[in-house]
Amino acid sequence: MAIEGDRSWFKNYDYSIPRGYIYPKIPVRDMFLSHAATKGAKPYIIINDIVLNYQTCNMLARKFANALLASGVKKGDRVGLVAGNIPQYILALQGCFKIGAIAVPVNPLYTVDEIEYQFKDCSAETIVVMALFADKIIEIKNKKTTAIKNIISIQVASLPVDMTGKDVIDFNEFTNKGEDKEPDVEVLSEDIAMLQYTGGTTGVSKGCCLTNYNVVSMAYQIGHQMLEFCPYELIKCVAVIPLFHIFGFNTTINACHFVGGTIVLVPRPDLDLLLETINKHEPTVLTAVPALLIGLNNHPKLAESKIKSIIGVLCGSSPLSVETFNEFEKKSGSWIVEGYGSSETTNIVTTNTKHKRKIGSVGLPWPDVDLKIVDIEEGKTEMPTGEAGEIIVKGPQVMPGYWNNEEETAIAIKDGWFYTGDIGYIDSDGFVFIVDRKKDMIICSGFNVYPRDIDEVLYQHPSVLEVCTVGIPDEKRGETVKAFIVLKEGASLTEDEAKKFCAEKLAPYKVPTHIEFIKELPRSSVGKPLRRVMRDMERNKS
């Protein structure tokens, strides 16, 4: 089945505009400059007791941009950003956008080898790094396996690090040397703005080339969605999801590019700190992953917090169980909207909205986004309504390709369609439902089994906090089903009880033959359960 981007719910656009003209072809910097000019005194970044307005942030970003130019960085050069959720990260990113330097966000918790691979792949020469993680970059530079020349170190008052004698440049000193004027650099919509590396959870990490047009179209999409929650002057996004992740970037920094909202930073993904921040600043929009909502649902201080200040929750990264969805909405009074996408699509391609949603679905395609469900084997035949297949998409946020990787680009993008590797279906109303990743599908005695089906059933058990189902080798069936279960505190459940519970709700070939109770699931930097890690761990046992 195929559907074109549904505009019927997207109320803020003139639907008479022809397809292809919805999103302006402007550089990312222009949106920020517009707010700096018209909303100069409005808070742009809040962290703890520090409030930085648009005018101040724009001044610091342009000084940083000019300092980059003076240091030899030019349009098209890659600049690595290795930091947590701190203001300097946003300022450095804005500085890169101003001069057309390509920002390369990297997870600071990655190992030296993982960081080295990415910076070697993109030939980054300048790295902006939080001092806490600077030793990793220094080590990589000293190995002389990359092009790294300059390391700009950010000191954080609460986590000071002695940089004496180390080959780094202080961020504040570097920025202060820059001229306080807008850089005279031509930046075009088709220029690459960011290299967003895939998480590597499904193979070798690849750099997704995201253009200014990709990023701007996403800002317009998410920004308009936020305006369904509340007027732009009330939009205050709490940023607990890491900003280096494409989801965290888009639903805080990028959306605020469009609506002129305020970013409330949570320096680390800690539930206690998140609730403290909510109590103090009463944000209206929360970006979340399922693990975060599960944690909040079970937090002893949620009821006494100001969680009801949250009007809208943008949830993504991995499937949200229906039970978690309903429980959080009941406790918080907010609206949860789930979306779906990937780094290759600059994040989101389908979404629910406040006024048009189906629980359990990832919603409808954005305007100008087309989506098809095709057969898993060859990816050519469109599947009928309600039947599962691989999801392929086409639209303004689909990347032009991977950095210096024509072979992988040719596999991922065919005739303008991005092959997601995800399995899903479209119902009779046009809503998209995710079944699982293509590589996560389990084949038991010739039957296709989707791990999420089992996960959803086990989440219904009152003793289950979290669950992750994988396929493991089996001599007779080829593969069989194993479920890893994390129990709620004080709860009890036996393997036989769990199997019996599944047998009442699933076909026999889907019922787990193996169940293991564990204390916690392995997760990515944004809390996504690493199904591949669990599967590989099991296969290494044999």
Residue ranges in the chain modelled with pLDDT below 50: 200-203
421: left (phi over 0), alpha (psi -120 to 50) or beta: left
Amino acid of residue 379 = G
**Dihedral over alpha carbons 278, 280, 282, 283 (to 10 degrees):** -60
For residues 363 and 431, is the Cβ–Cβ distance under 8 A?
yes
CB 451, CB 480: distance < 8 Å: no
Cβ partners under 8 Å of residue 30, min gap 6: none
pLDDT digits (tens, 9 = 90+) for 440-471: 778 776 667 778 889 989 999 999 999 999 98
User: Could you give the C-alpha distances from 113 to 55, 145, 256, 327, 531, in angstroms and in order?
Assistant: 39, 11, 34, 41, 22
| Contact present, 54 and 36 (Cβ < 8 Å) | yes
Q: State the DSSP H helix or E strand holding residue 364, giving kind and residue range, or none if neither.
A: strand 364-365
| Number of C-beta neighbours around residue 56 at 10 A | 17
User: CA-CA-CA-CA torsion for 122, 125, 126, 131, nearest 10 degrees?
Assistant: 90
Strands 335-342, 347-351: pairing kind: antiparallel
- Give the span between the Cα atoms of 103 and 429, in whole angstroms: 39
Rounded to an integer, what distance in angstroms lies between the CA atom of residue 467 and that of residue 455?
Answer: 6
Q: What is the pLDDT of residue 367?
A: 87
Question: Beta-carbon neighbour count of residue 65 at 10 Å?
Answer: 29
| Interval 243-298: pLDDT, tens | 999 999 999 999 998 999 999 999 988 999 999 999 999 999 999 988 899 899 99
User: Residue 403 and residue 518: Cα distance in Å, rounded?
Assistant: 39
For 33-112, strand residue ranges (E) read: 43-47, 50-53, 78-82, 102-106
Give the Å distances, CA to CA, from 229 to 76, 219, 260, 335, 435. 37, 16, 15, 8, 28
> Whose CA is closest to 448, among 415, 423, 484, 467?
423
Work out whether strand 102-106 and strand 126-130 pair parallel, antiparallel, or are unpaired. unpaired
Residue 188, Cβ neighbours under 10 Å: how many?
13
Q: In b/e form, how buried is each residue of 450-470, taking b as 16+ CB within 10 angstroms?
A: bbbbbbbbbbebebbbbbbbb
Q: Return d(Cα 523, Cα 242) in angstroms, integer.
A: 14
- Give residues with Cβ within 8 angstroms of 86, minimum separation 6: 47, 130, 154, 156, 265, 267
516/222 Cα distance (integer angstroms) = 39
Q: Which residue has the tokens 């709700």?
A: 505
Q: How far apart are the first and last CA of the chain?
A: 40
Residue with tokens 């036996």: 494
